[in-house]
A = this chain, B = another copy of it.
Amino acid sequence: MKRHIDWVEVNAACEALDENEDSLTREIVTRLAEKWTLWTLAELAAADAPMRFSRLMERVEGVSQKSLTKVLRQLERDGLVTRVVFAQVPPRVEYQTTEIALEMLELVHPLWAWASSNVGKFQAARAAYDKRRK
């Protein structure tokens, strides 16, 4: 059973982009695979409510303050999360996913599901490769 991807369609969509748009698309997709981006986004989406910086840092286990700040700034800049600052002491900042981020996560979800359900195949492939190279 052969699979078909419509590469003509894919290429058409890509060619239609100018250089700036192309690099931006690449940037968006690439960012998804950076170390904490997806996890952060997923926690915010799962909460389905505004979340404070400190709480987010608890849930995204292992992330440093610096990295979390950076990731959130990038996500905010790309319109994937909203950042609301409450003028009070001590300060309070709430983050939340936007509609467009949820759209994106819906497309990422099947990829993860597929990868995790096929993890056995990958382990087997590696074992075979390593044996061949041994």
User: Interface residues, chain A, CB within 8 Å of chain B?
Assistant: 3, 5, 7, 9-11, 13-14, 16-17, 20-22, 24-25, 28-35, 42, 45-46, 76-79, 99-100, 102-119, 121-126, 128-130
Question: Closest 8 interchain pairs by CB?
Answer: A33-B33, A79-B125, A77-B129, A107-B111, A21-B119, A3-B102, A25-B116, A7-B46
A33 / chain B contacts, CB cutoff of 8 Å: 29-34
> Taking A25-B112, A116-B17 as contacts, is the C-beta distance between A7 and B45 under 8 angstroms?
yes
Given A110-B107, A116-B14 in contact, is the A122-B28 Cβ separation under 8 Å?
yes
A115 to B10 Cα, complex, angstroms: 12
Task: Tell me the interface secondary structure of chain A in the complex.
Answer: helix
Using A33-B33, A79-B122, A129-B77 as known contacts, say yes or no to A5 and B115 having CB atoms under 8 A apart.
no
Some 19 contacts from A to B, beta carbons below 8 A apart, are: A3-B102, A5-B109, A10-B113, A14-B116, A21-B123, A22-B116, A24-B119, A24-B123, A28-B115, A29-B112, A29-B115, A33-B33, A77-B130, A78-B125, A78-B126, A79-B122, A79-B128, A103-B114, A107-B114
